[in-house]
Amino acid sequence: MPELPAAYDVIVAGAGPGGSTTAAYLGQLGRRVLLIDKAQFPRDKTCGDALSGKSMRVVRELGLVEEVEKLPHGNIRGVTFSAPNRVSVSIPFQTSDPNRPGGSGYCLRRMHTDNLFFNAAKKTKNVTTMEKFQVNEVVFENGAAVGVKGIDLNDAKREERIFRAKVIVGADGVNSAVARSVLGEKAALDPAHSCDAVRAYYSGISGLTDQIEIHFVKATMPGYFWIFPMENGTANVGLGLVSKDLQAKMKKDKTNLLSMFDYILKDEPMFKERFANAKAISPITGWRLPFGSARRQLAGDGWVLVGDAASLVDPFSGEGVGNATASGRMAAQFIDEAIERNDVSKLSLGAYEVAVWEELGKELATSYKMQRLGRYEWLLNLVVNKAAKKPAVRELISASLSDEVAKKKFENPLTYVWLLLT
Ligand SMILES: Cc1cc2nc3c(=O)[nH]c(=O)nc-3n(C[C@H](O)[C@H](O)[C@H](O)COP(=O)(O)OP(=O)(O)OC[C@H]3O[C@@H](n4cnc5c(N)ncnc54)[C@H](O)[C@@H]3O)c2cc1C
């Protein structure tokens, strides 16, 4: 088995938004990085394609906004919510949100988004990229991660190769081989803190606007159905349910995600007319979302996890690109400092884990509470009914889309008393 010398400071396994961000920032800091992915870019990733304000922060910092603008995308100016009682309300993005200048956001196919992030990393000085290489496991010495072992998918003999570095970053998504190596059984997903979702692209849906649509459909509660407008009148359409709820529903109602999705498009009164002339322009695909409401260890001796490998998806919105890039950005900073100290132990790299929970922990906890509250149909009906009638309620929801303090108000019982009385 050929073994190469420790030619790198950092190996990043997985070149999605999390891994490419980590590699780009580390390269900028002068660290020698090997960025590995088993796929060849451009590659697709099953997703809703909505780029949140948090994702746009890194897009902006990496100088990619102009490129995003040039690619086919949906221009988004707000969110339409509907409640199980079929009342809906449209909430505009705040024009003051610096990450959505002028109140405008994007829906961009992941095929494009991830290629942008990957190429930004590839162009960064000190970053070497390697596609079509599958990482199978982490190599340990005296309990510390010192390399990765895997196979070159172009090699007909499939001989195992080892690459060594001071720090190994697991950015290889929800089924992370790195997380399995470093965490063992603790890397298994908890069905109460993960979600199953399917999505397909459609053309010809009537009534598309410049808003993403999130619908809490009675028959598929407590899941949510989305329609995210893309370029040229197309849309990304999907349905997701917390895995535990889906398992219970499959048992009780003898159903599954695909038949629920089919039901909404063909039979649900709110949508059957809108989809009457719609055409699927892609196959329907499914994937899992690991929620940040279940905390896992994010750093150890010689290793760090980011993005889905770190289980950081927002448990209410299902948004994960923003936290993948935010964690990648932080990982780069703390890995750089640890290498500078010549100490890549758990204690040293653990500063990254502390910083992640400091920056994202409260927001993830609020989102988890909102996800739990969103299981009560009466509550969703109350909030959406009031928002449809009262500008003050719409303003609070609008603020909560970009401001954590406003979002936190939905945790406070007094907010619901206010809603009842307003
Ligand atoms: C249906 C659905 C809808 C979603 N909608 C949204 C949305 O609208 N907005 C949003 O922000 N988020 C959304 N998410 C979540 C989002 O897709 C993820 O959180 C995000 O992709 C995480 O980025 P990442 O870089 O951590 O991992 P990934 O994007 O999964 O990238 C991991 C990379 O690692 C590579 N890899 C995997 N295994 C190996 C291996 N063994 N060796 C080498 N390479 C490997 C893969 O090829 C891939 O390129 C959605 C998710 C789903 C499933």
pLDDT at residue 207 above 50?
A: yes
pLDDT value, residue 3: 46
Please state which architecture CATH assigns to domain 191-290.
Answer: 2-Layer Sandwich (3.30)
Query: Does the beta carbon of 46 lie inside 6 Å of ligand 1?
Result: yes
Cα separation, 240 vs 223, whole angstroms: 6
Pocket test for ligand 1, best of 12, 189, 321, 367 (most atoms within 8 A of CB): 321
Cα separation, 394 vs 78, whole angstroms: 11
Per-residue buried b or exposed e for 122-142, using 16+ beta carbons within 10 Å of the residue's own CB: bebebbebebebbbeebbbee
pLDDT value, residue 391: 86
Q: List Cα–Cα distances, 169 to 81, 176, 262, 310, in angstroms.
A: 37, 11, 39, 10
pLDDT band at 6 (very low <50, low <70, confident <90, very high): low
Q: Could you check whether the bond before residue 42 is cis, i.e. omega within 30 degrees of 0?
A: yes
* Fold assignment, 8-75+107-189+291-370: FAD/NAD(P)-binding domain (3.50.50)
Closest to 55 (Cα-Cα) out of 327, 363, 313, 322: 322
Q: Could you report the per-residue pLDDT of 256-309, keeping only the tens digit for each?
A: 999 999 999 999 999 999 999 999 999 999 999 999 999 999 999 999 999 999
Query: Does the beta carbon of 312 lie inside 6 Å of ligand 1?
Result: no
> How far is the centre of ligand 1, averaged over its atoms, from the C-alpha of 256 (Å)?
23
For the CA of 197, the closest atom of ligand 1 is 1
Cα separation, 418 vs 422, whole angstroms: 6
Q: List Cα–Cα distances, 210 to 147, 195, 227, 239, in angstroms.
A: 47, 27, 11, 20
Residues spanned by CATH 3.50.50.60 within the chain? 8-75+107-189+291-370
User: What's the average model confidence in pLDDT over 217-221?
Assistant: 94
Tokens of 360: 């994202």
User: What's the average model confidence in pLDDT over 399-417?
Assistant: 72
Contacts 24+ apart (CB under 8 A), 406-413: 407/363, 407/366, 407/367, 407/370, 408/362, 408/366, 410/366, 410/369, 410/370, 410/373, 411/366, 411/369, 411/370
Q: Could you report the per-residue pLDDT of 21-69, keeping only the tens digit for each?
A: 999 999 999 999 999 999 999 999 999 999 988 899 899 999 999 999 9
Beta carbons within 8 Å of 291's beta carbon, 6+ residues apart: 193, 194, 195, 311, 313, 314, 315, 364, 368
Q: Could you report the per-residue pLDDT of 230-266, keeping only the tens digit for each?
A: 999 999 999 999 999 999 999 999 999 999 999 999 9
Altogether, the residues listed in the chain come to a count of: 422
Query: Does the beta carbon of 322 lie inside 6 Å of ligand 1?
Result: yes
Query: Does the beta carbon of 74 lie inside 6 Å of ligand 1?
Result: no
Q: Could you check whether the bond before residue 191 is cis, i.e. omega within 30 degrees of 0?
A: no
Cα separation, 169 vs 79, whole angstroms: 35
Query: Does the beta carbon of 336 lie inside 6 Å of ligand 1?
Result: no
Residues spanned by CATH 3.30.9.10 within the chain? 191-290
Q: Helices 17-28 and 321-340, interaxial angle, to 10°?
A: 30
Q: Strands, E, within 40-172: which ranges?
A: 50-51, 74-76, 78-82, 88-92, 105-107, 127-130, 133-141, 144-152, 160-170
Query: Does the beta carbon of 13 lie inside 6 Å of ligand 1?
Result: yes
The amino acid at residue 261 is: F
Per DSSP, the three-state class of 36 is strand
Look at ligand 1, atom 7, and give the residue with the nearest C-alpha. Answer: 48
> How far is the centre of ligand 1, averaged over its atoms, from the C-alpha of 173 (Å)?
5
Query: Does the beta carbon of 314 lie inside 6 Å of ligand 1?
Result: no
Q: Give the full edge-to-edge strand order of the sheet including 74-76.
A: 50-51, 105-107, 74-76
What value, to the nearest 5°, has the Cα angle with vertex 153 and ends 149 and 159?
A: 50
Query: Does the beta carbon of 197 lie inside 6 Å of ligand 1?
Result: yes
Q: Could you report the per-residue pLDDT of 167-182, keeping only the tens digit for each?
A: 999 999 999 999 999 9
Q: How many CB atoms lie within 10 A of CB 204?
A: 16
> Cβ distance 109 to 11 under 8 Å?
no
Beta carbons within 8 Å of 133's beta carbon, 6+ residues apart: 36, 37, 38, 150, 151, 152, 153, 161
Tokens of 6: 């420790």
Query: Does the beta carbon of 47 lie inside 6 Å of ligand 1?
Result: yes
pLDDT value, residue 1: 43
Q: Which pTM was predicted?
A: 0.94
Look at ligand 1, atom 18, and give the residue with the nearest C-alpha. Answer: 320
Query: Does the beta carbon of 214 lie inside 6 Å of ligand 1?
Result: no
pLDDT value, residue 99: 74
